[in-house]
Amino acid sequence: MPAKGVLVAVTADVVIAGGGVIGTAIAWRAAAAGLDVVLADPAYGDAASLVAAGMLAPVSEALFGEGALLRVNLLALARFPSFAAELEQVTGHRVGLRREGTLAVAFDAGDYAALTRLTAFRRSAGLEAEELDSRACRKLESFLTPDVHGGVLFPGDWSVDNRRYAAALREAAASAGVRVVRDRVTAVLTAGGADARVRGVALAESSEIGSDRVVVAAGSWSGAVHGLPAGLRSAVRPVKGQLLRLRHPDGMPPVLTHTIRATVRGADVYLVPRADGEVIVGATQEERGPDLTVTAGAVHDLLHDAMSVLPVTSELILAETCAGLRPGTPDNGPIVGDAGPGGLLLATGHYRNGILMSAATADAAVACLTGRAPAPEWEPFGPGRFLTRQGER
Ligand SMILES: Cc1cc2nc3c(=O)[nH]c(=O)nc-3n(C[C@H](O)[C@H](O)[C@H](O)COP(=O)(O)OP(=O)(O)OC[C@H]3O[C@@H](n4cnc5c(N)ncnc54)[C@H](O)[C@@H]3O)c2cc1C
């Protein structure tokens, strides 16, 4: 692997800018499909993908007005188990897939009314939901406070240990022959005037990489890559999320089985259990640009809300506080597909669901790279929707 600062002059069938779960999943599958792949990332493995909670939650993430997003999220969930199984088989590492479902709980009557409205919407979309009173919620999760007003079990949601998953993706990509360059892509290079096609990328600290196919998968930094059509450069913005990682003290039995999503007097908090005893508590949602600081207020609010529904949280060890940047878009949908100039592909803007969508995004990207059509669920999420809106076609 070339070190930072060393001049490289390489060529490849495809260059991928960005090595979060999206870029690395694409790199692995593209290499497995026989393409010669170079992945460029200045901080390989240091991104939103490692901060995330790892929920694979199309059902409890389904919101009013996001029907197309729900359809692509369901496609992504259906693809995830076989993708993860192949990853585990190739690397010999478990990625911690859990299928217990999400238990959404409401703290008071107002919270419950909001949950009931969302549940009706999710049922109308054909999603499974089981309404539970307070006692039934505590039968599923015995450490929940008796004050919980009621809840809904969404059995269709799963979760994965996103750090194990990201590490396994990196290993699988390496063993499939993906070459990694630790450098930042500054620009997509093109040739050919009106019928421009990509000819590679420029790097910040080394030379160029020559390639007639480039995938921009740089998460919330995607817009900083020169050479993208302007409407696309402004379409992705960072949405900050702060999150806590808790650990059980030695000898303490697990305090949770399901992912809990709670609404506590209008504020949302989730707790995601891992097989190794970790419990993730998240997350804030903040429009603060590329700020990665962890604030005392956020830690307080997350712990306060988590303890309101699961008082035993106070006995867990606060192992880590972290912040990450979700790549958000104006319509909350991802941007996946050919962008023009010819040979340029975007795979970014996965916002709250990039872990969930990673396997299906890799399929869609490899389909584009090999001249096939992606699954129809991706149609609403092409880059063209931002070009058209701004009259740049
Ligand atoms: C607090 C929080 C909780 C979340 N929870 C969940 C969840 O439960 N489930 C879920 O599905 N999703 C979740 N997400 C969202 C998910 O993390 C993202 O959608 C996903 O990680 C995006 O992956 P990515 O590969 O596009 O971006 P990233 O993981 O951010 O990776 C981008 C990579 O690009 C590199 N890069 C940047 N600029 C350049 C450049 N110019 N050239 C080359 N490389 C570059 C960076 O170094 C980085 O490695 C959460 C996010 C946050 C912040």
**Ligand 1, closest atom to CA 347?**
26
Q: What is the pLDDT of residues 70-107, one digit of tens each?
A: 999 999 999 999 999 999 999 999 999 999 999 999 98
Nearest-CA residue for ligand 1 atom 53 is 324
Pocket lining: 352 vs ligand 1, CB cutoff 6 Å: yes
For ligand 1, is residue 219 a contact (CB within 6 Å)? Answer: yes
- Report residue 388's pLDDT band, with 50, 70 and 90 as the boundaries: low
Q: Which ligand 1 atom minimizes the distance to the CA of 46?
A: 49
More confident residue, 13 or 390: 13
pLDDT-derived band at 195, boundaries 50, 70, 90: confident
Query: How large is the angle between the packed helices 162-175 and 67-91, nearest 10 degrees?
Result: 60
pLDDT attached to residue 2: 46
Q: What are phi and psi of 19, to 5 degrees?
A: -120, 40
**Residue partners of 51: CB distance under 8 A and separation at least 6:** 241, 243, 322, 323, 324
pLDDT in the model for residue 144: 97
- CB-CB contact of 186 with 208 (8 Å): no
Binned at pLDDT 50, 70 and 90, residue 393 comes out as: very low
Report the pLDDT averaged over residues 309-322.
97
Share of the chain above pLDDT 90, in %: 87
Q: Length of the chain, please?
A: 393
Measured from the Cα of 241, ligand 1's closest atom is 1
CA–CA dist 208, 212 (Å, integer): 13
Specify the pLDDT at position 7: 44
Each residue's pLDDT tens digit, 348-375: 999 999 999 999 999 999 999 999 999 9
Q: Please tell me the distance from the alpha carbon of residue 381 to that of residue 388, in angstroms, as a whole number.
A: 13
355 lines ligand 1 (CB under 6 A): yes
Establish whether residue 77 lines the binding site of ligand 1, counting it when its CB lies within 6 angstroms of any ligand atom. no
Whether ligand 1 lies within 6 angstroms of the CB of 283 is answered as yes
Predicted local distance difference test score (pLDDT) of residue 343? 96
| In the predicted structure, residue 326 carries a pLDDT above the cut 60 | yes
Which among 350, 356, 381 is the best mutation to test ligand 1's pocket, defined by most ligand atoms within 8 Å of the CB?
Answer: 350
Write down the pLDDT at residue 3.
44
Burial grade of 311 (CB within 10 A; 0-12, 13-18, 19 or more) = middle
Does ligand 1 come within 6 angstroms of the Cβ of 15? no
pLDDT of amino acid 390: 43
Q: What is the pLDDT of residues 240-295, one digit of tens each?
A: 999 999 999 999 999 999 999 999 888 899 999 999 999 999 999 999 999 999 99
- Ligand 1: which atom is nearest the Cα of residue 284? 1
Q: Could you give the CA distance from residue 311 to residue 189 in angstroms, rounded to a whole number?
A: 55
Ligand 1 and 356: CB distance under 6 A: yes
Indicate which atom in ligand 1 lies nearest the CA of residue 349. 26
Pocket of ligand 1 contains residue 335 by CB under 6 Å: no
Mutation pick for ligand 1 pocket among 239, 320, 355, 381 (CB with most ligand atoms within 8 Å): 355
52 lines ligand 1 (CB under 6 A): yes
pLDDT of residue 45: 67
Q: Cis before residue 283, ω within 30 degrees of 0?
A: yes
Indicate whether residue 182 lines ligand 1 (CB < 6 A).
no
pLDDT in tens, 130-178: 999 999 999 999 999 999 999 999 999 999 999 999 999 999 999 999 9
Q: Is residue 22 within 6 Å of ligand 1 at its C-beta?
A: yes
What are the tens digits of pLDDT across the range 8-62?
468 999 999 999 999 999 999 999 999 999 999 999 766 999 999 999 999 999 9
